[in-house]
Structure 1
C-alpha cells in the first residue's frame, strides 16, 4: 500500500535501468498504477520486450525516436515526438530507439503498478542492438 498523498520532483539521478535498458526515474505510485520518467540516450536502442501482467501509457516529453509494437499479426512503427501519447496493451511486443540529437524522454504510467524486473520478457529484437 502506498502513502495517501504523494508529491515527488523528478530525480536528477537514475533510480533504475529498466529490463529494456532505458533509464528510469521513479515518480509517484497509487494502488492502481505507477508513473516513471523514462530516458533513452542519443543513439541508443532498447531491447525488445513484452510484459507479463501490466499495460502502459506513454507521453513523449522531448527528443525524437521510433517505437515498434506488435500484437499477433498486427504491427506498426510510430514516430516518437513531443506531445505524442500512446498505449502498450498487455501482450504487446515492443522496442524503441532514439533517432534524434537529444535524449528521448517520456512519462510512463503502468497499470497495475510495476511489479519488478521479472515483469518484462525478452522477445526477438526488431532493430539490432549494440
Structure 2
C-alpha cells in the first residue's frame, strides 16, 4: 500500500529553482535554496558578471560544485597547496573541509553553479573570513 500523501511528500521532495534569491551567502553570492537530506544540502549560487566573492573557509562542511553557466576562476588553499583554476560550464570542483576559497566571474556573464554541502549547511556563522588573492566587489551576506 502506498504511503499517505504527506509522508510521500517528505520522502520525495521536489522543488523548482526560485525566481529570486533566498539569501546572500557569506562570500557574497546570491543563494537559491534547493533541497536538504540528513547527509547534505543543495543550493544554486550566482555571482554577477565581473564580480569577485569574499574569500572564506568553512568550519564544519565541505562542498562539491558543478558549474552551470558563465565563466570565472576559483582560488583554493589547503595546508601548503594553493591554486587557481578556470571555471566553465560542465566543470565540477571540490572544496574539502578546511580549504580557503574565493571565486570570480568573468565580465561577459554571471557565474552560476550548484553546490552540494556535506553535512547540510548549518547557518551563516559556518563561513569564516580568509585572506584571498582578489579584492571582493560584492557585499558579504550576514
TM-score (norm 2): 0.88
Cα distance in 2 for partners of 1:68, 1:109 equals 18
Matched positions, count: 128
Cα distance in 1 for partners of 2:15, 2:99 equals 30
More helix by share: 2
Q: What is the CA distance between 1:112 and its match in structure 2?
A: 0.1
Which runs of no fewer than 5 residues in structure 2 stay unpaired?
1-9, 138-142
More strand by share: 1
Aligned match for 2:94, one of 70, 80, 87: 87
Q: What is the CA distance between 1:43 and its match in structure 2?
A: 1.1
Asked whether the 8 Å contact 1:58–1:107 carries over to 2, the reply is yes
Alignment of 1:1-130 (within 5 A): 3-130=10-137
Q: What is the CA distance between 1:13 and its match in structure 2?
A: 0.5
Indicate the SS of the match to 1:118. helix
- Deviations 1:94-115 (CA, angstroms, capped at 9, x unpaired): 0000014111000000000000
4+ aligned runs moved over 2 Å, structure 1: none
Cα distance in 2 for partners of 1:61, 1:52 equals 26
Cα distance in 2 for partners of 1:4, 1:97 equals 36
Cα distance in 2 for partners of 1:106, 1:38 equals 5
Asked whether the 8 Å contact 1:28–1:35 carries over to 2, the reply is yes
TM-score (norm 1): 0.96
